[in-house]
């Protein structure tokens, strides 16, 4: 917030100078320069404000991972893949981890609705979306999303290749796609052919071998765009 205060103070100083100094005494180049400085300063302030809001949102969701208050589904079964026979993990207070990795997200289930808090990162570790209490905030225009009460999905824009899916069915949540931390380390979960098992590919330091959403080839659940097909499945 301190950076915002500095920027807004700078804007106020520029505007004060603009008003107090006789505009007619400034030559054309000076006027153009002053206007450009004001526009640039406002642009920086807007970006700084957006970044501050983004950081606050991420901090709030991270805090929820440490909230151990009992929910309606404090121990939910998470399946890696979208089949009943897929390997499963049990959450603790709704928080999902894989070994020492995570926490990845927090789930609950109330009133026939899957409740999710999740920070979604791309293959560079950059935050591209945050889901806070089922409300999406997108930070990267290269992705789009859709959901209903029990299923959440994020896809790449254009080809609409699945980046992440989670759906609730019969007391269990089924997970496919990417789970990545701030260093872009994590897992790709895909390959749901019966008899072959789900593929859980670790993604570590060697990003050259990391799969892409196209490589995962996960079947899409929803129609797009969301604005036209809100919650409508294929």
Answer whether residue 70 shows pLDDT above 50: no
Residue 9: which domain range?
A: 2-64
The token pair at 125 is 């570790």
Answer whether residue 216 shows pLDDT above 70: yes
What is the pTM (predicted TM-score) of this model? 0.75
DSSP state for residue 209 in the 8-state scheme: G
Mean per-residue pLDDT over the chain, rounded: 81
Whether 230 is covered by a domain: the verdict is no
Whether 229 is covered by a domain: the verdict is no
Contacts of 179 (CB under 8 A, 6+ apart): 98, 101, 102, 104, 186, 187, 189
The token pair at 22 is 């006789």
pLDDT confidence tier of residue 140, bands split at 50, 70 and 90: very high
Across residues 69-93, what is the average pLDDT? 70
Same domain? For 100 and 126 the reply is yes
Domains identified in the chain, total number: 2
Of the candidate ranges 1-5, 61-65, 136-140, 173-177, the one whose mean pLDDT is the lowest: 1-5
Same domain? For 10 and 90 the reply is no
- Nearest residue to 80 via CA among 163, 181, 167: 167
User: Is 233:223 a contact under the CB 8 Å cutoff?
Assistant: yes
Whether 149 is covered by a domain: the verdict is yes
Across residues 175-203, what is the average pLDDT? 82
pLDDT of residue 66: 66
Of 14, 45, 64, the position where a domain reaches its end is 64
CA 131/CA 72 separation, integer angstroms: 19
pLDDT of residue 21: 58
Same domain? For 104 and 136 the reply is yes
pLDDT confidence tier of residue 97, bands split at 50, 70 and 90: confident
Residue 77: strand pairing partners: 90, 172
pLDDT confidence tier of residue 68, bands split at 50, 70 and 90: very low
Same domain? For 103 and 204 the reply is yes
Whether 234 is covered by a domain: the verdict is no
Whether 123 is covered by a domain: the verdict is yes
Same domain? For 6 and 84 the reply is no
Contacts of 130 (CB under 8 A, 6+ apart): 54, 57, 58, 61, 118, 119, 120, 136, 137, 139
Answer whether residue 121 shows pLDDT above 90: yes
Same domain? For 47 and 110 the reply is no
Same domain? For 211 and 188 the reply is yes
Same domain? For 75 and 189 the reply is yes
Whether 84 is covered by a domain: the verdict is yes
Of 25, 48, 64, the position where a domain reaches its end is 64
Same domain? For 91 and 55 the reply is no
Report how far apart the first and last C-alpha atoms of the chain are (Å, whole number).
Answer: 44
């Amino acid at each position: 917030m301190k950076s915002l205060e500095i920027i807004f103070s700078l804007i106020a100083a520029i505007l004060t100078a603009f008003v107090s100094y006789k505009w007619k005494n400034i030559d054309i180049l000076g006027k153009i320069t002053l206007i450009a400085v004001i526009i640039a300063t406002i642009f920086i302030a807007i970006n700084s404000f957006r970044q501050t809001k983004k950081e606050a949102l991420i901090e709030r969701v991270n805090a929820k991972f440490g909230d151990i208050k009992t929910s309606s589904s404090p121990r939910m079964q998470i399946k890696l893949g979208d089949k009943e026979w897929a390997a499963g993990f049990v959450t603790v207070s709704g928080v999902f981890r894989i070994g020492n990795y995570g926490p990845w997200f927090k789930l609950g289930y109330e009133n026939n609705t899957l409740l999710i808090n999740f920070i979604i990162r791309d293959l560079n570790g950059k935050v591209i979306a945050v889901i806070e209490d089922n409300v999406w905030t997108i930070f990267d225009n290269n992705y789009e999303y859709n959901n209903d009460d029990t299923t959440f999905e994020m896809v790449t824009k254009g080809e609409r290749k699945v980046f992440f899916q989670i759906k609730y069915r019969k007391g269990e949540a089924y997970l496919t796609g990417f789970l990545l931390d701030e260093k872009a380390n994590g897992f790709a979960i895909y390959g749901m052919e019966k008899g072959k098992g789900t593929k859980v590919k670790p993604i570590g330091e060697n990003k050259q071998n990391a799969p892409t959403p196209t490589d995962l080839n996960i079947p899409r659940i929803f129609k797009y765009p969301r604005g036209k097909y809100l919650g409508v499945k294929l």
